[in-house]
A and B are shown apart, each in its own frame.
Chain A
Amino acid sequence: MNVTERINETGLRGSGAVSKTYAIVLLFLALRAAGNSSMAWGMKQVPEKMAMNPALYLRAALNPFVALGIAALILALLARMALFSLADLTFVLPVTAIGYVVAVLIGKVFLHETVSHQRWLGTLLIFAGAVLVGSTSRNTTSPGTTAEDDPL
């Protein structure tokens, strides 16, 4: 394989891994939003107030919406673990914090909740921070990878 072919192959593999990373981020966010919404909906139908008693949690899990929510959250956990195989912890944490933005938007659009100015400002900061982190190199610890900005 000549140098040009090798560079092309590395580039394609690199861009493929980047798209895969963002695809898993989107999947994680969708699963967590669906899981939390389903859990919240199901928990409203559970009569008992939850406490430190595990039996109450097990009984709550029999509700179909709670069960669906738990399944979605388990899949979200697996997607996040796959994400850790592709990207740094300091990349994954801020980028997946977009989940807070999704939660505020779901609350506003579907549940017609009132969102204060402070919460909108927080949402904007999370979004801006996540975009900023998302523009950096996703993996700075694997051999042969470099940070796109000056390391501190």
Chain B
Amino acid sequence: MRWLLVAAMVFSTVLSDMLQSYEMKRAGEQSVTARGLRRLLQVIAGRRLLILAIVCNALSFFSFMALLQSEPLSFAVPASSASFVVETVLAKFVLHERLGARRTAGALAVLAGVVLVGG
């Protein structure tokens, strides 16, 4: 059951973030002022993939909560960081982001840090 929950959490997190990144870049620059948030809500309402991303986000949250019911935080947090690795790889090959040496080194440092904080 624990690995099923980890898989559900990682899959829903990855799908949510990939969809958000893809769709928000297509939607153009957004802001967080009162008017900007209103516009952002209209953008979300008009894009099915963003609504799916929010549903996936909720699934990820509940999978994490369910995992915490049976597993210690020291397992759940490092396990959740698996999504970080998958998303970085997919961002390069699916979203065509250019990682660069500095960004790759930084992402690896963050990943190691998350595992240590959770462990």
Residues of chain A whose beta carbon lies under 8 Å from any beta carbon of chain B:
17, 20, 24, 27, 50-52, 77-82, 84-86, 88-94, 97, 100, 104, 118-119, 121-137, 140-142, 147-152
State how many residues of chain B have any CB contact under 8 Å with chain A. Answer: 53
Do most interface residues of chain A lie in helix, strand or loop, or is the interface mixed? Answer: helix
Whether A132 and B109, one on each chain, are in contact in the complex, defined by CB atoms closer than 8 angstroms, is yes
Q: Which residues of B contact A122 (CB under 8 A)?
A: 112-119
Task: Decide if the interface of chain B is mainly helix, strand, loop or mixed.
Answer: helix
| B92 interface residue (CB < 8 Å to A) | yes
Cross-chain contact of B102 among A20, A104, A136 (Cβ < 8 A): A136
B17 touching A93, Cβ below 8 Å: yes
Closest to B111 in A: A129
Give the nearest-CB partner of A124 in chain B: B113
Q: A77: which B residues are within 8 A, CB to CB?
A: 54, 57
Contact B91–A90 (Cβ < 8 Å): yes
Q: Judging by beta carbons under 8 Å apart, are A133 and B95 in contact? A: no
